[in-house]
Amino acid sequence: MDTYARRVAVAITGRTQWGDGRGPSGYSGRDHIDLIVDLLFKPDAMFREELIPFERKKLKSKFGLDPNAKFFAPGELMLNEEFHRLSSEIRAKMDRNNKYRPSRDEQAVIDAQNKMATLSFFMTGQGIAIIPVEGTETFASTGIKHTDHGTEEVQKVLLVMQDAYLNNGDMSAAVDTLISAINAKTMHPQDLQSKIDMELIYNAHKPWRMAAIATVVALLLLIARWIIHSKIITAMIVLAILWAMAEQAFGLWLRVAILERAPVSNTYESLLWMGIVAVILGVIGQLLSPKSWYLAAGLGASVLSILFAMLVPLQDQTNSLPAVLRSNYWLIVHVLTIVASYGALLLGAVLAHVYLFKDVLLRRPSKKSERIIVQIYRMMQIGVILLTAGTILGGVWAADSWGRFWGWDPKETWSLISILTYFILLHARYVGWIRDFGLAVSAIVGFLAIVWTFYGVNYVMASGLHSYGFGSGGEIWVVTWAVAEIVFITICLWRRPTSPSQLRRKQKIDHSKVAHKSVTVT
């Protein structure tokens, strides 16, 4: 019920809770449980509640709506003739052409219509699935107006609960009565009850948020350690890293135990696994090379992965597993390998940012710079090996599932493009076509290709046999990140010396200035 309430709240309003002075009218400072109970017990009143977010000012003016309002009542939109006309036109276009891509304004109308459809389900007094069906993992539904056959006794108790809610009665007693009525009908199987208990822990504890906090703490302590050489700070860094890794392991274990599958079946889980791989490689690299930047880069990559995962809509974080992916064996050997390669390549890209920021933007090259270049190169090597192996394994899975090893599906094609991109970059470095600066820039450009393969094919192209990975959301953030990377590379190209000899001359001039200043002071 807790997870269901969260999904309904996100589907309608975009959030699971709302701070004071924010959110839909009447829900400031409240959360998902308040919303779901209102939907269940006073559905008629929800027709007039301002619940549906709609922020396209141009369209609001066109529909005759208040351009400054952020939320609107479903009744207000349902009775708006212009809104209804435009939504009908968009649906007709999509019916005529299944590859039609709506504009941003059209997508906003579709989203609002979908939110209204979710609300209409409750307005009709439909039930919710809360009564376990004996011998299965399915649930029967009951509601104040409709109930499945054989659940009439539970519905009677639900109506008593509704009366207590509407009249500010003792809700705790009513809830206990409802639970007793459900248990009298049938009990949860023990293994299912264990999953429910774990899911409640997962929802309440939020292990990935805790992991992000712990990782940021570790990064801040690392910065402090570079400034103040203290054994106490070193010990605190170790504890913070252990805390972060423990939270990630806990979150991973909970998802695997609840869902009984490898945790890489959607974009959300893949991003989290990518961050875990990055921090593990960072720790291993730091242990093998104590003076490296592996650890700091691994922690940074982990934070970025978690932050981008949090941008994935809730309904896409908890979606059910498509039939084609119901193979734990192939999920483990193919998808885990592919996403692990993304983690290694992300770590290489973060190291490249460190090099460019320090050596090019700040112009402070040192012997440590050569180590960073080696570290970037190693991560690119590890990444391309895993990426190639994962792609080949994907072909074997495709032969097993679809009867062919390779079919030039967009996902397959872009996987090959990503592999060839990194092979070219690594070869260019090996034969000397690109030097340190070129390798650092290449690591970032290569990861842009990975992001397109991972995100662009799924969310922008949205075509091909890999349709189970498609979705929407986060486009603005991804485009913002891509533009920021292009701007960063452009600035680095402008700031870098045109030749190694020019850089050496710049260093000599800087040293001579320091020497001259010391002579003047003397």
pLDDT digits (tens, 9 = 90+) for 468-503: 444 555 677 788 888 999 999 999 888 886 555 444
- Residues 348, 377: Cα–Cα separation, whole Å: 7
Strand pairing class (71-72; 128-132): unpaired
Helix (H, G, I), strand (E, B) or coil at 147: strand
- DSSP assignment, residue 17? B
For residue 490 the two structure tokens come to 């452009």
Segment 164-204, tens digit of pLDDT: 888 887 788 888 888 888 888 776 667 777 888 898 898 88
Residue 442: pLDDT band with limits 50, 70, 90:
very high
- Residues 129, 106: Cα–Cα separation, whole Å: 33
Give 419's strand partners: none
For residue 287 the two structure tokens come to 């242990």
Task: List, as one string, the DSSP characters of 76-97.
Answer: HHHT-HHHHHHHHHHHHHHHH-
More confident residue, 14 or 242: 242
- DSSP assignment, residue 53? E
- The gap between the terminal CA atoms of the chain, to the nearest Å, is 77
Residues 6+ apart with CB under 8 A from 120: 74
Q: Select, from the ranges 329-333, 336-340, 504-508, the one with the highest average predicted confidence (pLDDT).
A: 336-340
According to the model, what pLDDT value does residue 213 have? 94
CA angle 439, 442, 448 (to 5 degrees): 155
Residue 325: pLDDT band with limits 50, 70, 90:
low
Q: Which 3-state string (H, E, C) describes 109-145?
A: HHHHHHHHHHHHHHHCCCCEEEEECCCCCCEEEECCC
Task: Give percent of the chain above pLDDT 90.
Answer: 21
Give 139's strand partners: 132
According to the model, what pLDDT value does residue 517 have? 44
Amino acid at 430: Y
Rounded to 5 degrees, what are φ and ψ at 151?
A: -115, 20
Rounded to 5 degrees, what are φ and ψ at 145?
A: -115, -30
Task: Give percent of the chain above pLDDT 70.
Answer: 87
According to the model, what pLDDT value does residue 214 have? 93
Rounded to 5 degrees, what are φ and ψ at 446?
A: -60, -40
Judge residue 159's burial from the number of C-beta atoms within 10 Å of its C-beta, 0-12 exposed, 13-18 middle, 19 or more buried. middle
Place of tokens 């945790």: 263
According to the model, what pLDDT value does residue 312 have? 72
Segment 283-315, tens digit of pLDDT: 999 998 888 888 889 999 999 999 888 877 666
User: Lowest-confidence range among 320-329, 392-401, 440-449?
Assistant: 320-329
What mean pLDDT is predicted for residues 330-335?
76
Element (H, E) at 175: helix 171-185
More confident residue, 320 or 159: 159
